[in-house]
Amino acid sequence: MMKGKGMHRVSFLLVVIGAINWGLIGLFEFNLVGLILSAVPAIERIVYVLIGLAGVYLLMTHKHDCRTCTEEASVPKA
């Protein structure tokens, strides 16, 4: 099983794909993931589940992985 940086990269890529797909759906009613994978509905469904799991993973690990949030937390308040 992947851990650390590899899991973060895969999750990030899946979340970006999901975000772009939702943007296309919202703007143009065009489902790119559905178009590419509609020939194999089981694979399409698995991709959607993986995108959802990637989002949950990033949500759960965000505070630890995010440099911006870590920097804000480490800056002493005046």
Neighbour-count burial for 2-40, b at 16+ CB within 10 Å, e otherwise? eeeeeebeebeebbebbeebeeeeeeeeeeebeeebeee
Enumerate the domain spans of the chain.
11-63
Give residue-wise pLDDT tens across range 17-74: 999 999 999 999 999 999 999 999 999 999 999 999 999 999 999 888 778 877 765 6
Which residue bears the tokens 């489902």?
31
pLDDT for res 49: 97
pLDDT for res 65: 79
CA 34 to chain centroid:
17
Residue 4: CB partners within 8 Å, gap ≥ 6? none
Write the single-letter amino acid at 18: G
